[in-house]
Amino acid sequence: MRTNILIVGVGGQGTLLASRILGTLAVNKNLDCKLSEVHGMSQRGGSVVTNVKIADKVLSPIIGLGDADIILAFEQLEAIRYTNYLKKGGTIVVNTQQIMPMPVITGAREYPSNILEELDKRCGKLIAVDALEIAKEIGSVKSVNVVMIGALAKQLGISFDEIDNALKQTIKPALYELNKAALEKGYNI
Amino acid sequence: MAKKLMLGNEAIARGAYEAGVKVVSSYPGTPSTEISEIIAKYPEVYAEWAPNEKVATEVAVGASFAGVRSMACMKHVGVNVAADPLFTAAYTGVNGGMVMVAADDPGMHSSQNEQDSRFYARAAHVPMLEPSDSQEAKEFTKLAFELSEKYDTPVFVRTTTRLAHSQSFVEEEDRVEVPNKPYVKDITKYTMMPSSAIGRHLKVEARENQLKEDLNNGVWFNREEIRDTKLGVVCSGIVYQYVREALPDASIFKLGMVYPVAIEQIKAFASKVKRVIVIEELEPFFENQLKANGIKCDGKNLFTLQGEYSVSLIKERILGISQDVEKIDLPVRPPVMCAGCPHRGVFYILSKLKLTVSADIGCYTLGAVAPLSAVDSVVCMGASVGIAHGFEKALGRDQSKHTVAVIGDSTFIHSGITGLVNAVYNGSNMTLIILDNSTTGMTGHQQHPATGLTLKNTPAPILPLDDLVKTIGVKSLDIVDSYDLAEVERAVKEALNTDGVSVVIAKHPCALLKTYKAKPALSIENCKKCGMCLKIGCPAIYKQKDGSALINTSQCVGCGVCKQLCKFDAIKGGDAQ
Give residues with Cβ within 8 angstroms of B445, minimum separation 6: B439, B510, B512, B513
| Range B387-407 burial, b when 16+ CB lie within 10 A, else e | bbbbbbbeeeeebbbebbbbb
Q: Are residues B461 and B417 in the same domain?
A: yes
pLDDT in tens, B42-60: 999 999 999 999 999 999 9
Taking CB atoms and an 8 Å limit, are B311 and A60 in contact across chains?
A: yes
Q: Report the SS3 class of residue B479.
A: strand
Average pLDDT of every residue of chain A: 94
| Residue B577 clears pLDDT 60, i.e. is over it | no
Model pLDDT, residue A44? 75
Q: Supply the pLDDT for residue B554.
A: 82
Q: Give the range of the structural domain holding residue A84, as residue numbers without chain letter.
A: 3-187
Asked if B291 and B411 sit in the same domain, the reply is: no
What is the Cα–Cα distance from B208 to B158, expressed in whole angstroms?
A: 18
For B4, other C-beta atoms within 10 Å of its C-beta total 16
Residues 85-104 of chain A with CB under 8 A from chain B are 99-104
- Residue B328 counted as domain residue: no
Instruction: Mark whether B121 and B10 lie in a shared domain.
Output: yes
Which of A179-188, B172-181, B241-250, B319-328 comes out lowest in average pLDDT?
A: B319-328
CB count in 10 Å sphere of residue B183: 13
Chain A interface mutation, best of B109, B171, B254, B330, highest count of A Cβ atoms under 10 Å: B330
Residues B428 and B491 in one domain: yes
- Nearest to B105, CA basis, from B10, B32, B9, B13: B32
Interface probe with A: pick from B333, B341, B360, B538, most Cβ of A within 10 Å: B333
| Mean pLDDT for the stretch of residues B424-441 | 97
Residue B465 has pLDDT above 80, yes or no: yes
Q: Is B216's pLDDT higher than 90? A: no
Q: Are B451 and B439 in contact (CB under 8 A)?
A: yes
User: How far is residue B382's CA from residue B81's CA, in Å, rounded to a whole number?
Assistant: 11
Whether residue B441 sits in one domain with residue B293? no
CATH code for the domain of B206: 3.40.50.970
pLDDT of residue A11: 87
Integer-rounded Cα Rg, in Å, for chain A is: 16
Distance CA B61, CA A85 (A): 46
**Number of Cβ within a 10 Å radius of residue A69:** 20
Whether chain B has a CB inside 8 Å of the CB on A36: the answer is: yes
- Residue B125's Cβ-side half-sphere holds a number of Cα atoms within 13 Å equal to 22
- The confidence score (pLDDT) of residue A41 equals 65
> Would the CB atoms of B541 and A105 count as touching at under 8 Å?
yes
**pLDDT at residue B557, as a whole number:** 94
Question: Beta partners for A71?
Answer: A6, A92
Percent of chain B whose pLDDT exceeds 90: 93
**C-beta separation of B504 from B431 below 8 A:** yes
d(CA A61, CA A58): 7
**Burial classification of residue B15, based on how many CB atoms lie within 10 Å of its CB (0-12 exposed, 13-18 middle, 19 or more buried):** buried
Question: What is the β-pairing status of strands B166-171 and A32-36?
Answer: antiparallel
Is B484 domain-assigned? Answer: yes
Residue A163 carries which side chain, given as an amino acid letter? Answer: I
Residue in B167, B325, B363 nearest the CB of A34: B167
Q: Are residues B46 and B124 in the same domain?
A: yes
Could you tell me if B292 lies within 8 Å of chain A, comparing CB atoms? no
The mean pLDDT value for A35-62 works out to: 88
Q: Residue B235 belongs to a domain with what CATH number?
A: 3.40.50.920
How do residues B2-24 score in pLDDT, each as one tens digit? 789 999 999 999 999 999 999 99
**B329–chain A Cβ distance below 8 A for any pair:** no
Task: Please write the tens of the pLDDT for every residue from B78-104.
Answer: 999 999 999 999 999 999 999 999 999
- How far out from the chain centre does Cα B494 lie? 35
**DSSP code for B218:** S
pLDDT of residue B310: 95
Q: Confirm or reject contact between B310 and chain A (CB < 8 A).
A: yes
- Find the closest chain B residue to A45 by CA distance: B335
Q: Calculate mean pLDDT across residues B342-362.
A: 98
CB contact burial B145-170 (16+ within 10 A = b; e otherwise): bebbbebbbbbbbbbbbbbbbbbbbb
* B273 residue type, one letter: V
B/e letters for B503-541, b = 16+ CB within 10 Å, e = fewer, are bbbbbbbbbbeeebeeeebbebeebeebbbbbbbbbbbb
Task: Yes or no: say if B549 and B524 are a contact pair by the CB < 8 Å rule.
Answer: yes
Average pLDDT of B522-529?
Answer: 96
Question: pLDDT-derived band of residue A43, with 50, 70 and 90 as boundaries?
Answer: low
B65 closest CA partner among B148, B167, B166, B157 = B148
Total count of domains within chain B: 4
| Distance, CA of B518 to CA of B511 (rounded, Å) | 8
Which of B193, B217, B241 is a domain's end point? B217
Q: What pLDDT is attached to residue B524?
A: 96
Whether pLDDT at A56 is above 70: yes
The percentage of chain B sitting over the pLDDT mark of 70, rounded to a whole number, equals 99
CATH number at residue A39: 3.40.920.10
> Is B220's pLDDT higher than 90?
no
Does any CB of chain B come closer than 8 Å to the CB of residue A28?
no
DSSP state, A69?
E
- Identify whether B207 is part of a domain: yes
- B105 vs A39, residue with greater confidence: B105
Q: What is the mean pLDDT of chain B?
A: 96
The pLDDT assigned to B300 comes to 98
The type of residue at B553 is T
For the beta sheet containing A32-36, the strands, ordered from the edge strand earlier in sequence to the opposite edge, are A125-129, A86-95, A68-73, A3-10, A47-55, A32-36, B166-171, B3-7
State which of B162, B190, B217 marks the end of a domain.
Answer: B217
* B332 assigned to some structural domain: no
pLDDT of residue B555: 87
- Cα–chain-centroid distance for residue A130? 13
pLDDT of A1 over the 80 cut? no
Q: Does A137 touch chain B (CB under 8 A)?
A: no
| Least CB–CB distance from A65: residue in B323, B534, B541 | B323
Q: Which H helix or E strand runs over B278?
A: strand B275-278
* CATH number of the domain that residue B527 is part of: 3.30.70.20
Beta bridge partners of A132: none
Listed range (A133-147, B18-32, B397-411) with the worst mean pLDDT: A133-147
- Least confident range from A50-59, B327-336, B407-416: namely B327-336
Radius of gyration of chain B (CA): 26
Residues B252 and B362 in one domain: no
Is B323 in CB contact (< 8 Å) with chain A?
yes
Task: Identify which of B418, B434, B481 has the alpha carbon closest to the alpha carbon of residue B52.
Answer: B418
Average pLDDT (B283-299) is 98
pLDDT of B140 strictly over 80: yes
**Residue B566, domain member (yes or no):** yes
Q: What is the domain count for chain A?
A: 1
Phi-psi region of B323 (alpha: psi -120 to 50; beta: other; left: phi over 0): beta
Residue B128 CA to residue B286 CA, distance in Å, equals 13
Give yes or no: residues B185 and B270 share one domain: no
Query: B556 with B409, same domain?
Result: no
Alpha-carbon span A3 to B78, nearest angstrom: 38
CB-CB under 8 Å, A60 with B310? yes
Q: Which residues contact B152 (CB under 8 A, 6 or more apart)?
A: B93, B94, B203, B207
Per-residue pLDDT at B576 exceeds 70: no
Do both B62 and B208 map to the same domain?
A: yes
pLDDT at B219 over 70: no
Q: pLDDT at position B29, please?
A: 96
A111: closest CA of chain B, how far (Å): 7
Phi, psi (5° rounding) for residue A51?
A: -100, 130
Please say if the pLDDT value at position B490 is more than 70.
yes
Residue B577 lies in a domain: no
Peptide bond preceding B154 in cis form (omega within 30 of 0): no
Quick check: is B275 in a domain?
A: yes
ipTM of the complex: 0.94
Are residues B276 and B375 both part of a single domain?
Answer: no
When mean pLDDT is compared across A45-54, B222-231, B247-256, the lowest value belongs to A45-54
Distance between CA atoms of B201 and B206, rounded to whole angstroms?
Answer: 9
Amino acid at A91: T
B509 interfaces chain A, CB cutoff of 8 Å: no
Which pLDDT belongs to residue B573? Answer: 87
Domain boundaries, position B63:
3-217
- Nearest CB among B110, B328, B371 relative to A106 is that of B371
Same domain for B448 and B559?
Answer: no
**What's the pLDDT score for residue A42?**
61
- Interface residue B352 vs chain A (CB under 8 A): no
